[in-house]
Structure 1
Amino acid sequence: MAKRFPPVHALVAFEAAAHASSFAVAANQLCITPSALSHRIRLLEEFVGDRLFIRDGRAPTLTPFGRSYLDVVCSALQTLTDFPMPGRTTPAQPRIKLTVPPTFARYLLLPRLAGFTSAHPDIVVDVYLSVPLYDLAPSESDLEVRFGAGKYPDLETVKLLEEPAFPVATPAYLERIGGIASPAELAKATLLRSALEPWKPWFEVAGLDWPEPTTNLRIDDLGLLLEAVRLGQGVGLTRQHFAQEMIEKGEVVELFGIRLASPPHAYYVVYEQGMQLRPEVKLFVDWLMATYAGG
Structure 2
Amino acid sequence: MAIRLPPVHALSAFEAAARLGSFAVAAEELCITPSAFSHRIRLLEEFVGERLFLRDGRSVSLTEFGRRYLDVVRDALRSLADFPLPHRSSPTHPRVKITVPPTFARYLFLPNITEFTDANPDITIETFLSVPLYDMSLSETDVEVRFGVGNYPDLVTEKLFEEPVFPVASPEYAKQMGLEKPGDLKNATLLRSALEPWQPWFNAAGLDWPEPSMGLRIDDLGLLLEAVRHGYGVGLTRSHFARDMIRNGDLVPLFDVALTTPQHAYYLVYERGVRERPEVDAMLNWMMARFNTQRLS
Q: TM-score, normalised by structure 1?
A: 0.93
2:104 matched residue in structure 1: 104
Residue 81 (str. 1) matches residue 81 (str. 2): yes
Q: Give, in whole Å, the separation in 2 of the partners of 1:20 and 1:267.
A: 36
Percent identity for Structure 1 against Structure 2: 65
Look up the equivalent residue of 1:38 and give its one-letter code. Answer: S
1:255 to partner: Cα distance: 0.4
Which position in structure 2 is the counterpart of 1:142? 142
What is the match of residue 268 of structure 1? 267
Q: Equivalent residue for 2:173? A: 173
Which runs of no fewer than 5 residues in structure 2 stay unpaired?
A: none
Matches within 5 A, 1:55-204: 55=55, 57=57, 59-86=59-86, 90-176=90-176, 178-204=177-203
3-state SS in 1 of match to 2:51: coil
Contact 2:22–2:58 (8 Å) recurs in 1: no
* Pairwise CA distance, 1:214: 1.5
CA distance in 2, matches of 1:63, 1:102: 44
Cα distance in 2, alignment partners of residues 169 and 54 from structure 1:
60
**1:216 offset after TM fit, Å?**
1.2
Structure 2 counterpart of 1:249: 248
- Provide, for residues 119-173 of structure 1, a one-character-per-residue CA deviation record: whole Å limited to 9, x for no partner: 2111110001111112522111111111111110000011112111110111222
Provide the rounded CA distance (Å) in 2 between the counterparts of 1:198 and 1:98.
27
Q: d(CA) in 2 for partners of 1:275 and 1:247?
A: 39
CA contact 1:45–1:52 (8 Å) conserved in 2: yes
Q: CA RMSD in A?
A: 1.8
Structure 2 matches for 1:229-240, cutoff 5 A? 229-240=228-239
Shift of 1:75: 0.9
CA contact (8 A) 1:205 1:260 kept: yes
2:165/2:259 contact within 8 Å kept: yes
Structure 1: runs of 5 or more not aligned: none
The amino acid of 1:212's aligned partner reads: E
Q: Give the whole-Å Cα distance in 2 for the aligned partners of 1:38 and 1:270.
A: 19
Moved more, 55-64 or 115-124: 55-64
The 8 Å contact of residues 99 and 141 in structure 1, kept in 2 or not, is answered as yes
d(CA) in 2 for partners of 1:208, 1:259: 13
Show the counterpart of 1:223.
222
- The CA distance in 2 between the partners of 1:104 and 1:167, in whole Å, is 19
Residues 98 and 127 in structure 1, CA contact (< 8 A), matched pair in contact too:
yes
**What is the deviation of 1:43?**
2.1
Counterpart amino acid of 1:122? D
Q: Are the equivalent residues in 1 in contact too, given 2:166–2:254 (CA < 8 A)?
A: yes
Distance in structure 2 (CA, Å) of the matches to 1:135 and 1:129 = 10
Amino acid at match of 1:160: L
Residue 50 of structure 1 corresponds to which residue in structure 2? Answer: 50
Aligned residue pair count? 294
In the TM superposition, residue 57 of structure 1 has moved relative to its aligned partner by 4.2
**TM-score normalised according to structure 2 size:** 0.93
Shift of 1:47: 2.9
Q: Is the 8 A contact 2:33 2:142 kept in 1?
A: yes
Q: Does residue 1:292 correspond to 2:296, yes or no?
A: no
Does the CA contact (< 8 Å) of 1:28 and 1:276 recur in 2? no
Displacement, 1:32?
1.7
